[in-house]
Amino acid sequence: MTPQTPQEPVLVIEDLAVQYRTPTGVVDAVRTVSLRIERGEKVAIVGESGSGKSTTAHAVVQLLAPAARIARGSIRFGGIDLVHASRGELRAIRGRRIGLVPQDPTVSLNPVTRIGTQVAEVLVIHGLADRRTAAAAAVEALRRAGLPDPELHARQFPHELSGGMRQRVLIAIAIIAGPELIIADEPTSALDVTIQRQILDHIDELAAETGTSVLLITHDLGIAADRADRIIVMNQGVIVEEGTPAEVLGAPKHPYTQALIRAAPSLNALGDVERVLDRLPKETRVRVFGGRAGDPFTVRDRSKGPLATDPSGATDESPARTVLVAENLVKDFALPHGGGVAHAVANVSFAVPRGQTFALVGESGSGKTTTARLALRLDDVTSGRVLFDGRDVTDARGRELRDLRRRIQVVHQNPYASLNPRLSIRAIISDPLVAYGLGDRTERRTRAAELVDVVALPSSVLDRRPAELSGGQRQRVAIARALALNPELLVLDEPVSALDVSIQAQILGLLASLQDSLGLSYLFISHDLAVVRQIAHRVGVMRLGELVEVGDVGTVFADPQHEYTRALLDAIPGAGAPVVQPG
């Protein structure tokens, strides 16, 4: 290692530009990026997908995708220009002096090698230890990375560990050789919020202990605000803003940063954010959603009163104030190899109030999605009852089930997978209408065009295929499809979890204004408490198949009763960030 004066920065990137070759031409992933990381400093690069933040990080370790090329610039690390360094020089630096914590712990470990061997490998490669001492060092590194029982887990294979544990293994690999710089590329985006917090805390502690510099890549401004000494905001391949968390969040100068802060749900989780609702014009409401629930082409009987549009009137229309009631739902799955049963959902009861949003929130494996599937009747309950509009639909089959589906529609979490790739957007949106044989060809075409307009897409998308649309646009299409039958209840299964924060904000805004205009009821599934805070009226917190707390959103967030709810709330990143609400 070359001796260095403490003043000298660990990493200096000057005027970096990286290009990707794509089938349609060259894309400038990174245009002009210059940054420096001082010794012991924690720098966070924040940006949305395609902002160039990960590309910048991968350029530092020279592990870019084959299609990428560094067009310009220099990356100086401890006196070596990494852009022009030889393979041998790079090998001596990777793992030894720069540790990389990759994004997805589920795929980043070799599945056929024991944990201990993978961790020790770094030392063996760099000749820092022989096999025996390396094994002992690996156990010690696992312990420092916060893995309980490191001796036991070092002998295990990756599939025997949970996601959070695997992420700790990756951190152990990154720190074992005592690097000067740790690059953490979205180290926790695949993890639950409570685990995320532990992992980030741990990286912080380790960095503080050893004086290691950290370059943290994240899409979450809240995480950056909590963890970094300095925040760099990237957009479209350039740095738009740079400063301490207080500077960037407290007084953002660039319009993009301001927009990002406004959109970030985590930063606004505990503030009182009032969404500006674009209510649909009354004329559109009557024309597009004037039909009966489940049959949009039948105009509602006048004698039955006005449309269920204003929230106060909504309850008059039906005697039931709740659209959907779940009573003591239980869902068991048989374990393989005759290992008994697992309770995916254990004794869950809740009610979705008419015209409002009931959110089920929980971490992965909490049973929230299974509960939603039970309510949708996509799965059968083991025991318990589902009541829709006061009617028991637990055992609905055939015709009754199809009638039910007219009134409950679903929006799936991954818009990249939920639209049939072979059909045009028009065909996708009118698919439910065709399924029930509603309207003729012309009526269905008109309705598809109207629905596209309602979800604020240009009518030119109608003839396109899903692949030609972006994720946000596809989710709007999925919402339009769900609205096609005039349903009363929408089940929203993590509808924004596959989207960037600014698109998330748009979709949540659309959902809120649709609810406000049409009196729709939502069953909203999410792992993100911050998102729930913004959209829901009532919330149920699930943990390991059980509903641990139910209540009004304001009450639950202000005064959580259950220990687990408190842990979840505490783990929301950026809660204490110094945000000034712009505008």
Partner 1 sequence: MTDTTALAAESARASTGRGTAHDDTFATTSADRFADAAASREAGSIVEEPSAPTAADGRTGRVRRLLATGVQHPGTVLAAVWIVLVLVSTVAPGLFTSQDPLVGVPAEKLTGPSPAHWLGTDQLGRDLYTRVVFGSALTLQAALIAVGIGLAVGSVLGLLAGFVGRWVDDVVMRIADVLLAIPSLLLSLALITVLGFGTVNVAIAVGLGSVATVSRIMRSEVIRVRNAVYIEAAFASGNRWSRVLFRHVLPNSAGPVLVLAALEFGTAILAVSALSFLGYGAQPPAPEWGSLIATGRNFLTTAWWLTTLPGVVIALTVLSANALSRALDSEGRRVR
Return the residues of window 481-500 that contact partner 1 according to CB under 8 A: 481, 484-485, 494, 497-500
Q: From the CB of 92, what's the least distance to partner 1, in Å? A: 30
Q: What's the DSSP call for residue 273?
A: P
Task: Name the pairing type of β-strands 291-292 and 295-299.
Answer: antiparallel
- Using the contact rule CB under 8 A, the part of the chain among 86-94, 102-110, 176-184, 243-251 near partner 1 is 102-110
Q: Is 19 in the site for partner 1 (CB under 8 A)?
A: no
Q: Is 236 in the site for partner 1 (CB under 8 A)?
A: yes
Q: From the CB of 68, what's the least distance to partner 1, in Å? A: 12
CA dihedral sign of residues 224, 230, 233, 237: negative
Q: From the CB of 172, what's the least distance to partner 1, in Å? A: 15
Q: What's the DSSP call for residue 156?
A: S
- Using the contact rule CB under 8 A, the part of the chain among 6-14, 111-119, 124-132, 426-434 near partner 1 is 426-434
Q: From the CB of 137, what's the least distance to partner 1, in Å? A: 22
Q: From the CB of 484, what's the least distance to partner 1, in Å? A: 8
Q: What part of residues 104-163 is at the interface with partner 1 (CB under 8 A)? A: 104, 106, 146, 148, 159-163
Task: Find the length of the chain.
Answer: 583
What distances in angstroms separate CA 113 from CA 70, 149, 159, 416, one per listed residue?
A: 34, 18, 10, 33
Helix extents (H) in 84-158:
87-93, 115-125, 131-144, 150-154
Q: Is 190 in the site for partner 1 (CB under 8 A)?
A: yes
- Using the contact rule CB under 8 A, the part of the chain among 114-122, 189-197, 285-293, 345-353 near partner 1 is 189-197
Answer for the pair 182, 10: CB distance below 8 angstroms, yes or no.
no
In this structure, the dihedral spanned by the alpha carbons of residues 520, 526, 530 and 532, taken in order and rounded to 10 degrees, is 20
Residue from 420, 555, 561, 581 touching partner 1 (CB under 8 A): that is 420
Nearest Cα neighbor of 407 from 478, 323, 318, 489 is 489
Q: What part of residues 387-416 is at the interface with partner 1 (CB under 8 A)? A: 402, 405-406, 409-410, 412-414, 416
Measured from the CB atom, the residue of 37 and 480 that comes closer to partner 1 is: 480
Residues 6+ apart with CB under 8 A from 318: 354, 389
Q: What part of residues 270-329 is at the interface with partner 1 (CB under 8 A)? A: none
Residue from 118, 266, 369, 526 touching partner 1 (CB under 8 A): that is 369
Q: From the CB of 533, what's the least distance to partner 1, in Å? A: 18
Answer for the pair 525, 493: CB distance below 8 angstroms, yes or no.
yes
Q: Is 376 in the site for partner 1 (CB under 8 A)?
A: yes
Nearest Cα neighbor of 347 from 363, 358, 331 is 331
Measured from the CB atom, the residue of 28 and 140 that comes closer to partner 1 is: 28
Beta strands in 212-321 (DSSP E): 213-218, 230-235, 238-243, 291-292, 295-299
Residue from 133, 328, 364, 383 touching partner 1 (CB under 8 A): that is 364
Q: What part of residues 521-580 is at the interface with partner 1 (CB under 8 A)? A: 527, 544, 563-564, 567
Residue from 83, 92, 284, 436 touching partner 1 (CB under 8 A): that is 436
Measured from the CB atom, the residue of 191 and 451 that comes closer to partner 1 is: 191
Q: From the CB of 29, what's the least distance to partner 1, in Å? A: 8
Give the number of other Cβ atoms within 10 Å of residue 285's Cβ.
17
Q: Which class for 406: exposed (0-12), middle (13-18), buried (19 or more C-beta within 10 A)?
A: buried
